[in-house]
Amino acid sequence: MLVLRGGWKVPMGQLGAERRGLMKYQRVLRLPCDDIRSGIGFKATLDKALKQLLEGLFKASDGFRIEFGDHTGGHLRAIIRGGGQSIEVEGCYGQNSSFAEGKKVQFVSYTVRAQGGAGKSQASENATENAEVIGKIAGVVLAVAIACAILSSLMSKSAKFIYALPVFIAAVYAGKLLGAKAGRTLASGASEQGFSGKEKGPADATVWKRLIHAIESVTEQYPTA
């Protein structure tokens, strides 16, 4: 059993199991250095190798989009979106420990983590935003029409406009909120129907296997914990 920094415990096996369509992978590398400072060069090399690997696998010409950034602690992080899926890859460098023969052994490690599953495409995200805006407009228009109809009846009986104004504002605000919610609900339902009509499983599995194989290829020179 390997104990990761932060109290996580994971099996010694490298490949994570699938759970509800969410695929996980982790590979912990033992770096040949005595402390974190002396291993910075290995971190830079592995970060560069992971970036090149991802850019080679997930090309913009194939409909993928990669967002690189630094995770907490300066670790490499990449989020890949495209083809109805979302994959997150991290390269975490730091001090680690394991138990051997009942004794705790510390070492410097570089951990590659990957997590993937079905995700929204950019078109789907845009459709949701557009539906929300349309819903807000429709909700406000409908609320104004209803408020005007009700208030016109009240105003014919009383000339106290000051009491009608708060009711009108509240109706407009409620229409905006309800319209936006209705728009999001409709867009979400249409998106789910679109995804369910596609055979995404085999394609996702193929992309995932290519990613894992590539990660193991570029890190095979390092021993695993």
pLDDT digits (tens, 9 = 90+) for 144-203: 777 677 666 666 555 555 556 676 677 667 767 776 777 667 766 555 554 444 444 444
DSSP of 155-175? HHH---HHHHHHHHHHHHHHH
Q: Does the CA dihedral 101-105-111-113 come out positive or negative?
A: positive
Kindly state the average pLDDT of the residues 196-219. 75
Q: Which of 13-17, 116-120, 179-183 has the highest mean pLDDT?
A: 179-183
Is the pLDDT assigned to residue 10 strictly greater than 80?
no
pLDDT value at residue 190 = 55
Kindly state the average pLDDT of the residues 37-49. 93
pLDDT value at residue 177 = 75
Is the pLDDT assigned to residue 124 strictly greater than 80?
no
Rg (CA), the chain: 27
- As a whole number, the mean pLDDT across the chain is 75
Q: Does the CA dihedral 110-116-122-126 come out positive or negative?
A: negative
Please give the DSSP secondary-structure letter assigned to residue 47. Answer: H
3-state secondary structure string, 194-221?
A: HHHCCCCHHHHHHHHHHHHHHHHHHCCC
Which tokens in the block code for residue 223?
A: 């021993």
Q: Work out the pLDDT band at 205, boundaries 50, 70, 90.
A: confident
pLDDT value at residue 85 = 82
Is the pLDDT assigned to residue 20 strictly greater than 50?
no
pLDDT value at residue 157 = 55
Which tokens in the block code for residue 168?
A: 């009108």
